[in-house]
Structure formats: C-alpha cells, structure tokens
C-alpha cells in the first residue's frame, strides 16, 4: 500500500483544477468531449463512485474508498456508476499517458487517459443461436439482456496520496452501427464468441490464488467481477516517469488495450486480457497477459497465462518461451 496523505475533498479538487489549468487542461477537456462524448462533472462522478463503494473504516483511515484505486479500475467504476449493466458483456479498455509541464515546480505532471466501452453482447449471442437452432428453440431477447452499448472517457492524475483523482470525464452511448464496426483485439466487439482465445501462442493456463483488499465486490455468482479482473490485470498500471513519447501537447495514443468478457457461453464465467505495447524495448514489442475465472471463486482461484510480441525475429515466441 502506498503511503497516503489526508486531504479534504474541496482542497484536493482545488489543487487538481489549479494544476490542470496551469498544465494544458485543454487536452483533457478535448478528450472527454470529442467523438460524440458529452462532458460529465468529474467531482460529482468521483463522489458517486465513492458513495457506491464500501466505506473506509474511520478508525483505520480518514481516506475515501477510492484513494488506493488506480486509473484503469477507476475508469471501470465510472461505468459501474450507471448501474450493473448487462450480464452478457464485453468491455474494451484503452489507456494512454501524457506528461505535461506544471510550473512553478517544473516537475512533469502525469495524466492518464482511459476509454472504457461496454458492449451488450446478449442480442448477438441470441441471434447466433437463432441462426443455429431456429427462433422457436431460443428464448426471447429479454432473457439475453437488453440495454445500450455505452462508453466512458476519464482523465485522472495522482493527487495528495490518491492514485487517480478524476480530472475530466465524458460519456456517450454507442450506436448499433458503431458497435457492429468496433474491434476488440482485431475481432468484432459484438462477436458471440471469445475474442481473447484467438490464435495467440499463450503459455499454459496456471492456477493463481488471489488476495484482493478492495472496496468493491471481488466475485458475483462464484465468478470474478469485471472490476476485480481490471484490478488484478491493470490495477498497478500508473505513470512512473516521462519517457518522451508524449509531451502533453496532444491527446496520447493508447499503449494498452484490454478486453474483459463475461458470460458468453452457457455457463457463467469471465475472461480478461490485455496487450501492453509502446515498451521502447529492443526485444519485446508488447506484453500480453490473460486471466480466466470459471466459477471457482469459493476457492479464490483464477487461471493466468501470458505471451509476448517480439520486436525482432518471430512475431511471437513458442508458448511459454521468450523473445530473442
């Protein structure tokens, strides 16, 4: 756990806004308002997220529940602030970072840029079954889940012991045409089948016990929640230092793409994976990590695997091996 410094919400928000005003707030606002997104009050969203989480023990800490939540899980919680969402679901997450000068200290200020798209895959699964079995053999659409495809954009920054204070936020509904055209790991985001399994040379899936101390539900119906999956895979992702890839003058290109998909088959379950590129490494071009939860949460067990994209030689090493 990172050392945390107590603060009042109003004081932290004032500092956050002041720093951004001094450090090109325009790129954060542009990010959350372009491409059909509408700006959302970041302070109200932050309060709503905290109100929905398990309260901190006042005898142990005076911090809000979100204090130790990283940028990517925070973006997932923004999506959850609307409600539980569909059961048969796929999330696509992108993450980028910009470092901007923040006078008078002249220290570079990191801003994390996240977009989370949530796709309701239920209708696509039903249509696939109708094509295979016939309409009379398939339950009505309501049994598969109804509801819109949605997207959130967040810009966060670390402030006074908090890993991801929300600096700017935006929301949009995704049209059916846009959802049909969207790609997750190069495959249709509305695919009724997993986009994670694919043709990648994953290492062998191995059991991995989990131990999470988070203020949100780790499991539901015996399966890992999407928010816990984001915490396990990407909870430690946060800015470490400027690398020269973005000077803060423009919206950064994503370096991480992640997909979380749940309950696509007859049995409940969840799979998640990410691709982390932009590593500036002469051997590894990108890291891939994967996890699966198959209804064994009573034993606190998930399964994990990994692979790599190579910067030289073969595109991928043999399963379980490394790049040259």
The pLDDT tens digits for 137-150 are 888 888 888 889 99
Closest C-alpha among 111, 116, 288, 290 to residue 194? 290
Residue 140 backbone zone (phi > 0: left; psi -120 to 50: alpha; other: beta): beta
Model confidence at 225, in pLDDT bands (50, 70, 90)? very high
CB-based contact 223:297 (threshold 8 Å):
yes
Residue 200 three-state SS: coil
Q: How far from each other are the two terminal CA atoms of the chain, in whole angstroms?
A: 35
- What's the whole-model pTM score? 0.87
- In terms of C-beta density within 10 A (0-12 exposed, 13-18 middle, 19 or more buried), how is residue 51 classed? exposed
Q: Which pLDDT belongs to residue 226?
A: 94
Whole-angstrom Cα distance, residue 250 to residue 239? 17
The larger pLDDT score, comparing residue 13 to residue 278, is at 278
172: β partners: 151
Q: Which helix (DSSP H) or strand (DSSP E) does residue 11 occupy?
A: helix 9-22
Question: 114-118, 136-140, 201-205, 272-276: lowest mean pLDDT where?
Answer: 136-140
Whole-angstrom Cα distance, residue 12 to residue 230? 26
Q: How far is CA 184 from the centre of its chain?
A: 13
Q: Which pLDDT belongs to residue 264?
A: 87
Q: Which pLDDT belongs to residue 17?
A: 46
Q: Which pLDDT belongs to residue 103?
A: 64
Mean pLDDT score of the chain, rounded to an integer?
85
Is the pLDDT at 232 greater than 60, yes or no? yes
In this predicted model, what pLDDT tens digit does every residue of 265-309 receive, in sequence order? 877 899 999 999 988 889 999 999 999 998 766 667 899 999 999
Q: Which pLDDT belongs to residue 95?
A: 97
Buried residues in 70-86 as b, exposed as e (16+ CB within 10 A) = bbbbbbbbbbbbeeebb
Q: Which pLDDT belongs to residue 209?
A: 87
Is the pLDDT at 90 greater than 60, yes or no? yes
Q: What mean pLDDT is predicted for residues 159-187? A: 94
């Amino acid at each position: 756990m990172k050392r945390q410094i107590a603060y009042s919400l109003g004081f932290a928000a004032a500092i956050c806004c002041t720093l951004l005003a001094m450090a090109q707030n325009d790129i954060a606002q542009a990010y959350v308002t372009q491409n059909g997104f509408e700006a959302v009050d970041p302070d109200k969203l932050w309060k709503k997220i905290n109100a929905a989480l398990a309260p901190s023990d006042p005898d142990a800490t005076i911090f809000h529940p979100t204090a130790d939540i990283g940028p990517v899980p925070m973006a997932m919680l923004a999506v959850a602030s609307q409600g539980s969402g569909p059961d048969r679901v796929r999330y696509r997450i992108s993450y980028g970072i910009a470092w901007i000068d923040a006078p008078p200290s002249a220290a570079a200020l990191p801003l994390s840029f996240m977009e989370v798209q949530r796709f309701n895959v239920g209708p696509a699964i039903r249509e696939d079954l109708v094509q295979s079995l016939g309409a009379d053999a398939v339950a009505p659409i309501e049994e598969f889940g109804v509801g819109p495809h949605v997207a959130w954009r967040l810009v966060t920054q670390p402030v006074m012991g908090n890993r991801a204070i929300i600096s700017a936020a935006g929301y949009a509904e995704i049209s059916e045409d846009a959802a049909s055209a969207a790609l997750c790991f190069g495959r249709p985001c509305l695919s009724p089948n997993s986009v994670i399994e694919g043709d990648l040379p994953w290492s062998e899936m191995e059991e991995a016990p989990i131990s999470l101390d988070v203020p949100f539900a780790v499991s539901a119906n015996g399966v890992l929640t999407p928010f816990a999956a984001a915490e396990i895979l990407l909870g430690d992702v946060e800015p470490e230092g400027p690398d020269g890839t973005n000077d803060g003058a423009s919206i950064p290109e994503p370096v991480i793409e992640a997909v979380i998909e749940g309950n696509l088959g007859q049995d409940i379950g969840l799979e998640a994976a990410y691709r982390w590129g932009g590593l500036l490494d002469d051997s590894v071009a990108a890291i891939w990590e994967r996890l699966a939860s198959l209804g064994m949460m009573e034993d606190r067990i998930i399964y994990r695997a990994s692979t790599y994209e190579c910067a030289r030689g073969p595109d991928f090493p043999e399963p379980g091996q490394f790049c040259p």
